[in-house]
Structure 1
C-alpha cells in the first residue's frame, strides 16, 4: 500500500508540474531557447530547444559495430559522412530513467537486430536529463529530448525513404511519442516497452504514448501498476504473464526492476525466436484481472514480427528463464505440462488419495 500511495503522490505532483509548464498539445513544438535549471544534481531543461543540450546519438551498422556519433540540428546533419545506409530501415532505441545508451537490455536488442540482417541502429543518450534520483526532472525533460530526436528523424527523411522505427523503454516510450509528433511527419511504428506510469497516469493522451502517435503502436506490459502503465497505450497491447510480476523475478534482488526490464528482454528475443511469443485476445486487461479471459480466440505474435493490422489486448505466457518464448497456444500447454510434469503428478496422486478416502468413508 505504501508503494502504491508513493507512486500516486509522485504521479500527481509530476502531472501538475508538467501541466503548468505546458498546456499545449504534444505536437506543438516550441522554439523557446533552451536553458538548464540545476536544482542540486537535477537538471531541468527549460524550453524544448536542443541548442547546447547533452542529447547525443550514436549509429551502429553491420559494418560499424563500434558506433559513431551523429551530429544533427534543424537544418543539417553529418549522416552522409557516416556509415548510415540510406536504403536500410532505421531502428532507434531510447532508454529511460536513471540509465544511458549502454543499458544492457537495449544493447541486447541491437545485437539481435544485427543477427537478423542489415539495419541502421541508432542509440540515443539523454542520461544527463534522466539521472536518478531526479525522476520529476526526467519526466519534465521528455519533451525536450523528443524534440531533439525529431530533428534526427527529419534529417534521416531528407536523405532516405526507408522506414524509421522508434523503440522506447519506460520513459523512453513517451520520448518516442513526443519525437514522432514533433517531426514533420509521424513515424511508421513506435514500440513501447513497458511505458512508464509515474507522471503519466492521469496525463491526457496527447501528453503520453498512445495509438495516435504513429501509424502503428505496439506495447509490451511487464510491470503494470508499478513502474509501467496498466492502460492500453497502443493499437495492440500485450500483457505478459499477467503484466505485473514476471516469473523468475521473485528470486531476483529487485522484483520490480526485474519485471520492468523483461519487456526489452522479451522483445530482443522475439527478433530471432523460432517458436515466438504468442498471445490470445482479451476484451480488456480488467476483464483478465477478474478471470474472464481464457486461453482461446485469436492468437497473434508479440514483438518484432507483430502483425501491424492486429488490434486489441492480448495475453502472453512465457518461460521463467531464457529462452522465454513458448510458441503458439497449443505448444504453450505442452510446454507448461512438460515443465511442471512432476508437480502435476504429485497433485494427481494427492487428488486420487483423497478420492479413495472419500469412497471408503
Structure 2
C-alpha cells in the first residue's frame, strides 16, 4: 500500500512541473487560450512574420507609453520617445518611483493586468505608472508575437534610457512588471538598460517557445528579479522553471484554489501580485528542491511575495499557500 501511494505522488510530480533543464514535449499544433479567454489553434512550427518584427525593430515608437499618476488616475498622458516636450509637459515626476506594466499576448492598453496593478500602486503611494501597449505585435499569431518580444523589450529599454537622460529619473527607482509574454518583454527591457533597473517582476512568464530561449526573462536583467508561477503545469501557459533571483510557486505553481481552467491559474499571478502591493500579507517558505515545492514540504526561510519595495532582496524558490478568493 505504501509503495502504491509513493508511485501516485511521483507520477503527479512528474506531470505537474517540468524538471529543470528538461524540455517539455508539445505537439506541433496546440489549442491555446489568449489572455482574454479565447481559444486559438497555434502552430508552433509556423514561420514568424519577419517583416512585422523588422518594422518594430526599426521604430521602437510602435510601443505606446501611457502615463498615470495620482493627478491623472483615469485618463492617461502619452509619452513619446525622443520627444522631450511630451515628458516635460506631463505629470511625470522623476523624484517618484516609476512602475512599468506590460501586457501579454492578444492584449492591449486596457487589458489585465494593467488596470488592476496600476490601481494597486496608485492607491498605495505617489508613483509614475507607465502602461506599455504593444498590441501591434501582440495581436499577431503567437509565434510572431513571441519572436517579436526581444524587439519590443529593447524598445522599452531605450525609452527608459531616454527618460533617464531627459528627467534624471533613476534606474534604481524603476520597477518593471510583465505578464505572460510581457514578462519576457520586461526582461529584455531590463537587459537593454544593462540590468540597472531596481526590480523586475515576471507574472507567470509564458512557457511555449521559451524554455531554451536566451531571450527569456533571467536574473541578469535587473538588480532583483522575482517570478510568480501559477500555471506551470503540462499543459500550462507558464514556464514552470526557476529563472529569477526568487521564484514563487503559489500553491505549488500548477493549480490555484478556486480555479478549474488554465486561464484562471494563469491570471492568478497578477491577482496575487496586485493584492501583495495593497495588503502585503502573502508569505512563502523557501524550498530546497522542486519536490518540496510540489509536496508542500518547504520549511526554510520566510519571504514576502510581491510588494512594492524597490530594495527587496532574496534568492531561491518559495511556496506560498493562498485562499481561493480575494484577498487570497
The one-character-per-residue Cα deviations of 1:130-168 (angstroms, maximum 9, x if unpaired) are 115x10011011122112211221122111244111000
Give matches, 1:249-260, under 5 Å: 249-250=259-260, 255-260=261-266
Q: Larger Rg: 1 or 2?
A: 1
Structure 1 position 13, deviation (Å): 3.5
Note if contact 1:86-1:161 (Cα within 8 Å) is conserved in structure 2.
Answer: yes
Q: Is the 8 A contact 1:249 1:258 kept in 2?
A: yes
Partner of 2:161: 154
TM-score where L is the length of structure 1? 0.73
Which residue of structure 2 lines up, in the alignment, with residue 265 of structure 1?
271
Q: 1:50, 1:147 within 8 Å by CA — same for their partners in 2? A: no
Shift in Å, 1:308: 2.6
Q: Could you tell me which residue of structure 2 aligns to residue 345 of structure 1?
A: none
Structure 1 residue aligned with 2:108: 100
Deviation of the 1:180 alpha carbon: 1.4
2:223 match: 215
Q: Give the equivalent residue in structure 2 for 1:240.
A: 250
Tell me which of 175, 178, 187 is aligned to 2:197.
187
| Offset of residue 12 of structure 1 | 6.5
After TM superposition, give the deviation of residue 304 of structure 1 in Å: 1.4
Helix, strand or coil at the partner of 1:191: strand
Which deviates the most, 97-106 or 179-188?
179-188
- For 1:141, the equivalent position in structure 2 comes to 148
In 2, distance between residues paired with 1:285 and 1:61?
40
3-state SS in 2 of match to 1:233: coil
1:321 aligned onto 2:328: no
Pick one of 123, 126, 134 that aligns with 2:134: 126
Distance 2:282 2:183 in 1: 21
Name the residue aligned to 1:302: 305
The Cα RMSD (Å) is 2.6
2:77 corresponds in structure 1 to: 68
Residues in 2 aligned to 1:100 and 1:80: alpha-carbon distance in whole angstroms: 26
Work out which of the residue numbers 275, 289, 293 in structure 2 matches 1:288.
Answer: 293
Distance 2:264 2:154 in 1: 30
On the 8 A contact 2:228/2:249 being kept in 1, the answer is: yes
Return the offset for 1:189.
1.1
CA contact 1:170–1:196 (8 Å) conserved in 2:
yes
Aligned to 1:6: 27
Deviation at 1:184, TM superposition (A): 5.7
Aligned length: 288
Alpha-carbon distance between aligned partners in 1 of 2:191 and 2:302, rounded to the nearest angstrom: 31
| 1:342 paired residue number | none
Match of 1:178 among 185, 188, 193: 188
Report the TM-score when normalising by structure 2: 0.80
1:354 corresponds to? none
Q: CA deviation at 1:178?
A: 1.1
Contact 2:200 2:225 survives alignment (8 Å): yes
- The question of whether the paired residues in 2 share the 8 Å contact of 1:216 and 1:308 is answered with yes
Structure 2: stretches of 5+ with no match in the other structure: 1-14, 16-23, 31-41
Structure 1 runs not aligned, ≥5 long: 19-34, 38-43, 325-361
- Check the 8 A contact 1:11/1:200 in 2, yes or no: no
Shift of 1:104: 3.4
